[in-house]
Amino acid sequence: MDHRSQKEVLELEADIESAFAQFEKDEFNDMLAGALAGEYFGYSTFAALAADSSEKPELHFWECARDIEGMMIRNLEPLLDSSGIPRPEKSMYVGIGERTAAIFAGEPHQDYCTWVGPRIDAALTGLLRLQALSEPGPARTACDELVAHELALMSAWAVLSNGFAAAAKPLAAHLNRGFI
């Protein structure tokens, strides 16, 4: 990345930190809303990276990553609604996701993968805290699924050095098993 790109990435990181700061309390409802915000962000980022991909293995990888996020959105939105938890402002997180993809577009997508890997690790840590706070029932099921889907993403990133085709396998397996 050139100097300008590094500046853009630093500004992006500050904006992401600011946007997600409201969800850093150890309160279940805030953390669950933050998880949904993360899914909005991930979905829009992965969708834009898929649109920027021209090679089939890479396109399949981004489509699987996007679809995993979409599966979580379809399950979290009704849970938040039925629990009376306000949804995060979708357009804000979609916008940040699209901006993330735009910053990394045109560069080898490995650059994005290197950048996002530690963020997936941090997300898993937060989701494990959320899971520990959940009570049995639909919320626990959703938390279990959030952790499982983040582990699938981590598995994909762990084998990414073997190529996009190899990295798509844990994502496709997760999608094929469906929601818990």
Domain ranges of the chain: 3-177
In this prediction, residue 105 carries a pLDDT of 79
Q: What is the pTM of this model?
A: 0.89
6, exposed or middle or buried, with CB in 10 Å at 0-12, 13-18, 19+?
A: exposed
CA 2 to chain centre: 26
pLDDT in tens, 80-111: 999 999 999 999 999 999 999 988 877 666 67
Mean pLDDT of the chain: 88
Per-residue tokens: 20:
């997600």
- Cβ(170)–Cβ(136) under 8 Å? no
Torsion 129-123-18-79 (CA) sign:
negative
| pLDDT over threshold 80, residue 1 | no
Residues 166, 159: contact at Cβ < 8 Å? yes
C-alpha R_g of the chain: 16
Q: What's the fold here for domain 3-177? A: Ferritin (1.20.1260)
How many C-alpha atoms does 55 have within 13 Å on its Cβ side?
Answer: 8
Q: Is the dihedral of CA 81, 64, 125, 147 positive or negative?
A: positive
Residues 6+ apart with CB under 8 A from 121: 154
Report long-range pairs for 105-114 (Cβ below 8 Å, ≥24 apart). Answer: 105/48, 105/49, 105/52, 106/52, 107/1, 107/5, 109/49, 109/52, 109/53, 109/58, 109/62, 110/160, 111/1, 112/49, 113/157, 113/160
Contact 146, 164 (CB under 8 A): no
pLDDT for 179: 60
When pLDDT is averaged across residues 34-46 and rounded to a whole number, the result is 95
* pLDDT greater at residue 111 or residue 70: 70
